[in-house]
Amino acid sequence: MKKLLFLFLLAPLQLLAQQTSKTGFSITATLKGVTENEVITINDMNNADDTLARTLVKKGVFVLKGKVEEPNLVSINFHGSQKKLMLFMGNDQISISGDVNSLQSINVKGSVYHNDFQEFQNTFNPRFQKITAMNQEIGGKPN
């Protein structure tokens, strides 16, 4: 009887979880340096041929909407300038601001996954750069 009661109480939570994952993502970006009617796409980095959403820039703003099955690394592609912004996201409501000519200082809000990804990059990128420099130094020396 207790198991049946437990399952009965758990059912609404399962339905809520399913509804949350169906809502999808929405990315609203206000960026300097983008051109009017520039094509913007977002692609799954695990499958570069998988375009999750496509839109056009209107008055410096664009909105991408779609759905991902799970949090993932994606690439927002600026087709006019041939630039890419890496973003780690799930089905989040995200806002992006900044300048497309300075992608490393773009401000991303609304994705805890991207916040964790940035923290990871801030911690490990300097270490990766140091290892790469040491590797080049070692590789450049004669035996």
Per-residue pLDDT of the chain (143 residues; tens, 9 = 90+): 555 444 444 555 454 444 444 599 999 999 999 999 999 999 999 988 889 999 999 999 999 999 999 999 999 999 999 999 999 999 999 999 999 999 989 999 999 999 898 898 889 889 989 999 998 888 866 55
Q: Tell me if 77 sits within 8 A of 40, measured CB to CB.
A: yes
Separation CA 119–CA 130 (nearest Å)? 18
Chain position carrying tokens 């409501």:
93
Q: Are 58 and 68 in contact (CB under 8 A)?
A: no
Supply the DSSP symbol for 80.
Answer: T
Q: How far is CA 132 from CA 23, 61, 114, in A?
A: 42, 38, 25
Q: Could you tell me the pTM of the whole model?
A: 0.73
Q: Are strands 47-56 and 72-78 parallel, antiparallel or unpaired?
A: unpaired
